[in-house]
């Protein structure tokens, strides 16, 4: 009879331990699932390569001008002639 009570006590303690572990795991914030690491995503363009506003060609260096509406325009060397013709101010 003592063995039955001993086994019932062990099973009861194991059940309580499992219940405590289960409820603690539910109450923990799940930040590891909500965090997105930027290093997983590759950059779409090479660093420094930007598009010209007029011809949409990718170039390493752009000259930036202020447009007539106050908008910033980035132009390549070929299109910068158009900016001088339109009297755009370089930034």
Instruction: Write out the chain's pLDDT in tens, 91 residues.
Output: 788 888 888 999 999 988 888 887 776 666 666 777 777 776 655 555 789 999 999 998 899 999 888 899 999 999 999 888 888 888 8
What is the Cα–Cα distance from 83 to 22, expressed in whole angstroms?
A: 67
Looking at residue 63, what is its pLDDT?
92
Looking at residue 11, what is its pLDDT?
93
Q: How many residues does the chain have?
A: 91
- Antiparallel, parallel or unpaired: β 58-59 and 89-90: unpaired
Token duo for residue 88: 């755009």
- Check: pTM over 0.75? Answer yes or no: no
Instruction: Please give the span between the terminal C-alpha atoms of the chain, in angstroms, as a whole number.
Output: 93
Looking at residue 32, what is its pLDDT?
61
The full set of domain ranges for the chain reads 2-29, 50-90
What is the Cα–Cα distance from 84 to 91, expressed in whole angstroms?
A: 13
């Amino acid at each position: 009879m003592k063995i039955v009570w001993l086994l019932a006590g062990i099973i009861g303690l194991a059940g309580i331990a499992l219940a405590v572990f289960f409820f603690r795991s539910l109450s923990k914030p799940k930040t590891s699932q909500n965090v997105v690491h930027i290093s997983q995503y590759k950059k779409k363009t090479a660093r420094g390569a930007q598009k010209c506003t007029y011809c949409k060609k990718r170039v390493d260096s752009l000259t930036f001008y202020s447009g007539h509406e106050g908008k910033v325009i980035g132009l390549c060397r070929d299109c910068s002639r158009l900016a001088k013709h339109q009297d755009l101010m370089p930034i």
